[in-house]
Amino acid sequence: MRGVGPARMESLRAVGIVSLRDLLYCLPVRYEDRTKVTPCAQARSGEVLVMGVVQDSPKLSRFHGLTRVTATLTDATGRLPLAWYNQPWVMQQLPVGQSIMLFGRIGIKNNRAVLQNAQRVTEPSIQPVYRAVKGIPAKSFRSMMEQALEQVDDCCPETLPNGLRLRHGLCELNFALREAHFPANVDNLRIARRRLAFEQMLMYQAALGLMRRHKEDGIPIPLPENAAAQFWRQMPFPPTGAQRRVLEEVAFDLRRTRAMSRLIQGDVGCGKTALAFGAISMVCRSGFQAAMMAPTEILARQHYESAKALLAPMGISCGLLIGSMKAKDKRNAHASCADGSWQAVFGTHALISEGVEYKNLGLVVTDEQHRFGVRQRSTLQEKGAQDRKAPHVLVMSATPIPRTLALILYGDLDVSVVDELPPGRTQVKTRVVPESKREAMYGFLRGEVAKGRQGYVVCPLVEDSEMLEDVRSAQATYEELVSGVLHGLRVGLTWGAQPADDKAQVLARFAAGEMDVLVSTTVIEVGVNVPNASVMIIENAERYGLSQLHQLRGRVGRGTAESWCFLLADENERLRILSQTNDGFLVAQKDLELRGPGDLMGTRQSGEMMADFLLDGDVRLLEEAAKCMKQLREDTALQSERQTVENVALQHYGDRLSQVALN
């Protein structure tokens, strides 16, 4: 290929592209629709294509070593300010008095819409946007893709049997690849991406089926029949019906000779941690060890403290193993894991670090499982293998996924849904708040603090960015609140990259009631439990996914007081959904329908196997692919089609199947 030398070959290899087929399956992450012109007066948000005349000469200004070019575009409907950052050459590309088309993203500056870093457009089109590859400019990557498509027929022969393709109304592969990269129109793009999404989901189902043949033997745990009921009797609160049902399902799995692989999925506050402790209790009382891995030290400590309060009175010894421990404490922890004196061990990825051994690990629990890489989860599982028998695996997630989607995605996991909240949990009232009501909203927060309550203020950025002038940062918001509307209150600040000890101290002080308001990034999304907090304020709420907003909202309403979540943004359909329901599963279903599942099975979930998995539309396409594979397995007349599909799955994923864990 032209323009691909040794350096660019290395850049491609670094992201897993070693062949033309790999390159062609590196599909755009999104598209820029440069086909519809938006009048200047209506350009208020998102990405837009505008057409007008630059009437006055653009201006160049400099500040702190940065440059900014400003101008104004005018059409029949009005004027639209333009701004380019660190692109001084744009001055020469803006012909005054001539009609031009520009494509860019609208930002808000001083309550005015501004078109930022726009590109000149010569003719309307749908442009692909690829994931950035270090060392290869975006324009060069598109050029490489155009060259690769010239050879699509040779390097990407049809993968699906004709009969199957026609039954499901799928286009041919070569058409799909061409239109997925450089679509002629929106309809062709939809047809192409549907075909590719269906194929990849079908291959995923085929690969799951091939892996099921190697299902591991487990360690049967000799539990008494009343083990689950006995645990609930010792808890300080009665379980919900859903909790009783799910723990009985877990107990049934633990007694079997096949290693348990169960996903417990439940909304924020449904009592998943109590279920994990129930499983740990049953396993430890039967003479085995259990390990529970959390994604953050904050959450690991919280689980450990809760376990000491609930499990220690039952005679179960608990321990904590995290990366920030001192060397001496770490050595003692390793010894306690190895000799079995710690029956229940709680920690972060430190649980799987080199040198950590367990005496008789019978159960592995991973919390917020979507935050772990597959290697981390499977490595912990391997540490417990005895005589080639694997420990039982329980994974938990509060990230809402509709049940049908969970059953398909986690094809080899049994799925338990905790669809009932404990009594006493208050429904959080959610409101979308425009900028004009910001002051009144903070006045309400002061009123809640005066009643003895606490609140959160969450921002998308840690510190201000010149490139994102309309996005609020935690540091700037903290300084603004302390010196302004929240002056006199005890306000704290935390963020993800803050030193671990400082972060733990801030969160501990907030939990202890020594702070009234905590300003933070999304670091508090999981694992922060402060029942006294009754107000959640989310800045730039339009920048978050619905499921993440729902998770953040779940930080309040954990006590008995009436609780509120305020979304600072202009109202849109997504935010209206959140203000109308507290049901996380309904939120997830709506989110799926609005934007599609996206990269559901990326490298964070299952190794490289589904690295560029894409889906458009709702869950129906996933269900269609799953039913198709089920039909191929069960209908004897379709055995040749099944063989073809499984051969393709093995050909493309075979060397990676061993890396994919089903937990």
pLDDT tens digit string along 132-178? 999 999 999 999 999 999 999 998 999 999 999 999 999 999 999 99
Residue 179 maps to a domain: yes
- Worst-scoring range by mean pLDDT, 245-249, 568-572, 603-607? 603-607
Q: What is the CB-side half-sphere exposure of residue 340 using CA atoms within 13 A?
A: 10
Residue 576 maps to a domain: yes
401 with 433, same domain: the answer is: no
Is the per-residue pLDDT at 238 higher than 80?
Answer: yes
Residue 590 maps to a domain: no
The mean of the pLDDT values for the chain is 84
483-490: long-range pairs with CB below 8 Å, 24+: 485/439, 485/442, 485/443, 485/446, 486/442, 486/445, 486/446, 486/516, 486/517, 489/446, 489/449, 489/516, 489/517, 490/514, 490/515, 490/516, 490/517
Q: Is 570 helix (H, G, I), strand (E, B) or coil?
A: coil
Polymer length in residues for the chain: 663
Residue 545 maps to a domain: yes
Confidence of residue 516 (pLDDT cuts 50, 70, 90): very high
Residue 336: CATH number of its domain:
3.40.50.300
Is the per-residue pLDDT at 428 higher than 50?
Answer: yes
**What is the structure's pLDDT at 594?**
65
Is the per-residue pLDDT at 466 higher than 70?
Answer: no
Is the per-residue pLDDT at 443 higher than 50?
Answer: yes
232 with 303, same domain: the answer is: yes
391 with 284, same domain: the answer is: yes
Number of domains into which the chain is organized: 4
Is the per-residue pLDDT at 232 higher than 90?
Answer: yes
pLDDT tens digit string along 370-415? 444 444 445 655 665 556 677 888 988 776 666 556 655 655 567 7
Range of the domain at 390: 227-418
71 with 186, same domain: the answer is: no
pLDDT tens digit string along 7-56? 999 999 999 899 999 999 999 988 988 989 999 999 988 899 999 999 88
pLDDT tens digit string along 450-459? 999 999 999 9
Burial 11-46 (b: 16+ CB within 10 A, else e): bbeeeebeebbbbbbbbbeebbbbeebbebeebeee
**What is the structure's pLDDT at 602?**
35
- Worst-scoring range by mean pLDDT, 118-132, 204-218, 353-367? 204-218
Residue 283 maps to a domain: yes
pLDDT tens digit string along 79-100? 999 999 999 999 988 999 999 9
178 with 253, same domain: the answer is: no
Residue 521 maps to a domain: yes
Is the per-residue pLDDT at 662 higher than 70?
Answer: no
Residue 564 maps to a domain: yes
Is the per-residue pLDDT at 590 higher than 90?
Answer: no
Cα–Cα distance, 7 to 507 (Å, whole number) = 46
259 with 294, same domain: the answer is: yes
Tokens linked to 417: 């849904």
Domain boundary among 366, 398, 418: 418
Residue 25 maps to a domain: no
pLDDT tens digit string along 95-117? 999 999 999 999 888 788 999 99
**What is the structure's pLDDT at 11?**
94
Confidence of residue 547 (pLDDT cuts 50, 70, 90): confident
Mean per-residue pLDDT for 624-640?
89
- Worst-scoring range by mean pLDDT, 122-136, 247-261, 304-318, 642-656? 642-656
**What is the structure's pLDDT at 381?**
57
267 with 324, same domain: the answer is: yes
